[in-house]
């Protein structure tokens, strides 16, 4: 159980935790991982957290100091250096919806390319006027695509009540343990409404069985430099201007 300040995030992380626990083989890639926020959900043989912020990658490596956890210093929209058809489980949360449409489409294309023929792709997106275009891209790569709708009207009402400039973390009440538990209880209602687009604002896309049946490739990073202990750097990446 994940007791988050937002009911919608409690649902998201509980859902991911339930799905990812069954994958215990191969490579897991957490795209836009920050300090490996989803690491605890992955059961794969190896975990790679990918982010453009080197500081948070270092924090993640320090937090999970084991021989199964690695960082990738890279831009989500420029992943050509990574081998296609090589990742068994790929997850992207809390990031793609913030990108401009062209960059979002490009990032989704790149992520889909990395997933192994029998791999799985879990992707969080906003249910906005750009979502249908993103879904078309995912369906181009995968035979089976399922959409789970969440952040329903009950979660929205709770979050709107506590939000300060769109942020709950600084609220003196929302972060208290009893309110986190209350947030989790409200998140249970997401399971009753996750089939109804009109009641929700976010989606989780689950994709599997790639349309191309090319052979699976190894997730070989030997061509990439290691710039910090257990952190690889892609040969091509973009540093956002300050």
The domains of the chain, with CATH numbers, are 7-233 (3.40.50.150)
Q: Are 102 and 132 in contact (CB under 8 A)?
A: no
Check whether 97 has a pLDDT greater than 80. Answer: yes
pLDDT of res. 173: 85
Question: Which residue is associated with the tokens 């790639």?
Answer: 210
Check whether 237 has a pLDDT greater than 60. Answer: no
Closest CA to 31 of 112, 82, 93: 93
CA gap 170, 17 in Å, rounded: 26
Residues in contact with 26: Cβ distance below 8 Å, sequence separation at least 6, in sequence order: 44, 45, 46, 87, 88, 89, 116, 119, 219
For 136-190, write each residue's pLDDT tens digit.
999 999 999 999 999 999 999 999 988 876 677 667 788 888 999 999 999 999 9
Check whether 127 has a pLDDT greater than 50. Answer: yes
Check whether 193 has a pLDDT greater than 60. Answer: yes
Give the HSE-up count for residue 116: Cα atoms under 13 Å, Cβ half-sphere.
Answer: 17
Task: Kindly report the average pLDDT of the chain as a whole number.
Answer: 91
pTM for the full predicted model = 0.89
Q: Bigger pLDDT: 155 or 238?
A: 155
Query: Token pair for residue 33?
Result: 């991982």
Q: Which H or E run includes 221?
A: none
For 46-79, write each residue's pLDDT tens digit.
999 999 999 999 999 999 989 999 999 999 988 9
Q: Are 184 and 4 in contact (CB under 8 A)?
A: yes
List b or e across 20-45, with b for residues whose CB sees 16 or more CB atoms inside 10 angstroms: beebeebbbbbbbbbbbbbbebbebe
Check whether 206 has a pLDDT greater than 90. Answer: yes
Query: What share of the chain has pLDDT > 90, as a percent?
Result: 74
Check whether 3 has a pLDDT greater than 50. Answer: yes
The band of 236, judged by pLDDT with boundaries at 50, 70 and 90, is low
Q: Which of 75-79, 195-199, 209-213, 228-232 has the lowest mean pLDDT?
A: 209-213
| Average pLDDT rounded to a whole number, residues 77-92 | 93
| Average pLDDT rounded to a whole number, residues 88-105 | 90
pLDDT of res. 116: 95
List b or e across 219-240, with b for residues whose CB sees 16 or more CB atoms inside 10 angstroms: bebeebeeeeebbbbbeebeee
């Amino acid at each position: 159980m994940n007791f988050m300040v937002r009911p919608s995030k409690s649902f998201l992380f509980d859902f991911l935790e339930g799905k990812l626990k069954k994958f215990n083989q191969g490579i897991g890639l957490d795209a836009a991982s920050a300090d490996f926020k989803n690491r605890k959900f992955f059961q794969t043989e190896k975990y790679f957290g990918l982010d453009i912020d080197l500081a948070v990658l270092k924090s993640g490596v320090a937090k999970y100091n084991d021989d199964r956890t690695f960082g990738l210093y890279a831009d989500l929209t420029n992943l050509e250096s990574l081998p296609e058809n090589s990742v068994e489980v790929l997850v992207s949360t809390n990031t793609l919806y913030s990108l401009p449409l062209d960059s979002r489409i490009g990032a989704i294309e790149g992520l889909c390319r990395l997933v192994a023929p029998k791999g799985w792709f879990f992707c969080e997106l906003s249910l906005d006027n750009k979502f249908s275009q993103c879904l078309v891209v995912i369906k181009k790569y995968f035979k089976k695509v399922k959409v789970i709708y969440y952040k329903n009207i009950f979660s929205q009402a709770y979050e709107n009540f506590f939000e300060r400039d769109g942020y709950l973390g600084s609220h003196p009440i929302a972060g208290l343990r009893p309110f986190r538990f209350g947030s989790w209880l409200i998140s249970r209602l997401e399971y009753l409404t996750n089939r109804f687009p009109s009641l929700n604002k976010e989606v989780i896309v689950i994709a599997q069985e790639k349309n191309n049946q090319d052979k699976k490739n190894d997730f070989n990073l030997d061509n990439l430099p290691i710039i910090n202990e257990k952190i690889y750097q892609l040969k091509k990446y973009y540093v956002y201007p300050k």
